[in-house]
Amino acid sequence: MGGSRTSFVPPRPQRELRDLTRYRRSLVADRARLESSIQKVVEDTNIKLASVVTDITGKSGRAILRAFLDGEQDPQKLAELALGRMREKREQLAQAVQGTLEEHHRFLLESRASTVGLLRPTGSGGRSRDCSSSGSAKRPRYS
């Protein structure tokens, strides 16, 4: 008569999967926040990369950002870094990348880009294998 009902506690595999899902969700949100912050710094330099490049964290955007961080300022050379369909927009790209990247902008971009993994070679897709790998020998399988 006087006992309270116990709460439902899911089985261990379900709890672990929930923890991993929540963690991944927070990583994705953090990455989106950092990418937005990178875009803000780029816009602050009067570089209008986003007006031509749909995703500044894509292959072409990363190549151009990497060149900026390496000190390249020539709009034509930066536009030549475009890959794939972006190559058709080289003239627009050359106009969009005419801005002034000061030393403090370079610092802000480097710190944010390295945190989010954008400074890796273009073949890696800028993604960490920690949470997005397709298979891991030590990661448990949940069904």
Q: What is the pLDDT of residue 135?
A: 44
For the chain, which residues score pLDDT lower than 70?
1-3, 119-143
Does residue 35 contact residue 116 with C-beta atoms inside 8 Å? yes
Q: What is the pLDDT of residue 123?
A: 46
Question: Model pTM?
Answer: 0.71
- Cite the DSSP H helix spans in 45-74: 59-69
DSSP codes, 17-83 = HHHHHHHHHHHHHHHHHHHHHHHHHHHHTT--GGGT-S-TTSHHHHHHHHHHHTT---HHHHHTT--
How many Cβ atoms are within 10 Å of 24's Cβ, its own excluded? Answer: 13
Q: What is the pLDDT of residue 9?
A: 92
Q: What is the pLDDT of residue 97?
A: 92
Q: What is the pLDDT of residue 141?
A: 56
Q: What is the DSSP letter of 2?
A: -
Q: Which residue has the tokens 């897709």?
A: 125
Q: Report the distance separating Cα 15 and Cα 6, nearest Å.
A: 17
Side-chain-facing half-sphere of 48: CA atoms under 13 Å: 8
Q: What is the pLDDT of residue 121?
A: 52
